């Protein structure tokens, strides 16, 4: 008898007994696990030898996903969208999700693509474990041209969850892409452009490369962030055991449920504090600060304008403050009913948002590409999943890129008329601290 992890035994039997030629081109199998079965999805993912690996936890914590293995890879969202459309008549297609990342300037009409690399890394996983509320389910994808035996072999080699060791690395050196003086020069130039009415807002960013004394495991870092950075989407795409992009972002790019679209304006920042009274004072200041309110409303207006022609109506909520571990943000929810459930169109309209790029978008983007001394790539793009009935992407902020013993952290700040470069330096320091302090407290 084959050795199969009991968690996957039912799935194994389903695959054994299935007749692939009688199915559609894409087959999706789902097994709901008994209520008493419970284990850490991150710990399960840590035990697997298949890559890429994707981890996702919704900021509301009602959903968590661990996926690994790759049946198809898509380097443009158009290709992933087309794949789903081709298979829309296949059984269980509504349960199929394609996971991954979109680069920050994925599909801007008429752009001249100067960067090397692809617009996206989106993949159809071989297997996913999903937790919705407290219920676990296992999802397996198969393609007709694939070998059934290879899927059976795959299921036999999936491991049980492993304990994740705590972080045990130290920072040896820190290298910012911009020194504080260079940052001030960069923002002074941006403010000059704003005064000349070349653009209304721009969002400069800084990359910080941390050299570590030992290689860092992405899942260890992801768990450490998830455990302390609450009210965030937690996401990780591990390309290999030593290369990954991950983050803990508070911001939704958009969620689509059939024709309903949900997005938001997250812009305007103040410090946070462990002291409740002080945190409340910072939040009150943020709600009443004209510069930050203006920055948020600029993003709201831009989103509403960009959605014109794509939605039948738009509703905007009153502002509230979302409190994170190191910073607090102004947020307004925006939703409407789409005319067509087209995720390519949604992404084209919404990414990059004014909160990570600027206004007008094309001019701000050109300014960033001319003056920023690093390639953003996945930073300020989006992470999440694409599906036929449902799609959700979070903005790739509060993020890091891992290569062996180097971790590069990214942080940006919205610059409008009246911004102070030194205050914005403090803001990006606070934003980066959400991840950087995970390492420093181990020293």
Nearest to 249 by CA among 175, 321, 320, 329: 329
Element (H, E) at 136: strand 135-143
How far apart are alpha carbons 130 and 119 in whole angstroms?
27
Determine whether 326 is an active site residue.
no
Nearest to 319 by CA among 303, 330, 308: 330
- Which residue in the list 251, 264, 392, 401 is annotated as catalytic? 251
| Pairing mode, strands 382-386 and 320-323 | unpaired
- Which residue in the list 201, 223, 326, 431 is annotated as catalytic? 201
Cβ count within 10 A of residue 73 = 16
3-class secondary structure, 133 = coil
Q: Is 64 annotated as a binding residue?
A: no
Q: Is 295 annotated as a binding residue?
A: yes
Cβ count within 10 A of residue 30 = 14
* For helices 180-195 and 421-440, angle between their N-to-C axes, nearest 10 degrees: 140
Asked whether the CA dihedral 362, 365, 370, 375 is positive or negative, the reply is negative
Determine whether 255 is an active site residue.
no
Nearest to 348 by CA among 306, 385, 313: 306
In whole angstroms, how large is the CA radius of gyration of the chain?
22
Rounded (10°) CA dihedral 123, 128, 131, 136: 160
Element (H, E) at 107: none
Nearest to 380 by CA among 103, 178, 115: 103
**Tokens 């194994």, residue?**
12
How far apart are alpha carbons 399 and 245 in whole angstroms?
7
Q: Which residues are annotated as a binding site for Mg(2+)?
A: 295, 427
Residues designated as active site: 201, 251
Q: Which residues are annotated as a binding site?
A: 295, 427
């Amino acid at each position: 008898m084959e050795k199969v992890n009991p968690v996957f035994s039912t799935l194994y039997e389903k695959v054994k007994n299935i007749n692939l030629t009688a199915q559609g081109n894409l087959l999706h199998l789902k097994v709901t696990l008994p209520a008493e079965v419970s284990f850490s999805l991150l710990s399960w993912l840590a035990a697997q030898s298949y890559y890429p690996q994707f981890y996702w936890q919704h900021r509301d914590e009602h959903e968590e996903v661990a996926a690994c293995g790759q049946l198809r890879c898509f380097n443009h969202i158009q290709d992933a969208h087309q794949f789903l459309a081709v298979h829309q008549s296949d059984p269980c297609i509504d349960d199929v999700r394609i996971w991954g990342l979109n680069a920050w300037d994925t599909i801007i009409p008429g752009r001249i693509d100067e960067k090397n690399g692809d617009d996206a890394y989106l993949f159809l996983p071989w297997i996913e474990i999903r937790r919705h509320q407290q219920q676990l389910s296992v999802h397996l994808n198969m393609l007709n041209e694939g070998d059934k035996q290879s899927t059976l072999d795959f299921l036999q080699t999936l491991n049980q969850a492993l304990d994740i060791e705590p972080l045990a690395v130290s920072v040896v050196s820190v290298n910012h892409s911009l020194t504080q003086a260079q940052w001030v020069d960069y923002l002074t130039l941006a403010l000059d452009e704003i005064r000349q009415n070349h653009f209304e807002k721009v969002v400069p960013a800084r990359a910080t490369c941390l050299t570590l004394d030992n290689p860092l495991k992405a899942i260890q870092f992801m768990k450490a962030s998830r455990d302390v950075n609450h009210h965030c989407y937690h996401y990780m795409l591990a390309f290999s055991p030593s290369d990954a992009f991950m983050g803990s972002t508070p911001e939704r790019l958009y969620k689509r449920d059939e024709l309903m679209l949900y997005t938001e304006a997250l812009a305007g920042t103040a410090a946070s504090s462990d002291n409740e009274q002080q945190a409340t004072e910072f939040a009150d200041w943020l709600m009443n600060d004209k510069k930050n309110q203006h920055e948020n409303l600029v993003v709201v207006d831009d989103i509403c304008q960009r959605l014109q022609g794509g939605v039948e109506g738009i509703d905007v909520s009153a502002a509230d403050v979302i409190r994170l571990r190191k910073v607090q943000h102004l947020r307004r929810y925006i939703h409407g009913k789409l005319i067509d459930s087209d995720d390519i169109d949604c992404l084209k309209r919404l990414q990059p948002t004014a909160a990570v790029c600027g206004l007008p978008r094309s001019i701000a983007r050109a300014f960033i590409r001319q003056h920023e001394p690093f390639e953003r790539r996945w930073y300020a793009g989006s992470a999440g999943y694409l599906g036929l009935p449902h799609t959700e992407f979070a903005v790739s902020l509060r993020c890091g890129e891992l290569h062996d013993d180097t971790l590069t952290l990214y942080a940006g700040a919205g610059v409008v008329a009246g911004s102070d470069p030194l205050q914005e330096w403090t803001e990006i320091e606070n934003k980066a601290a959400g991840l950087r302090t995970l390492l420093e407290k181990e020293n």
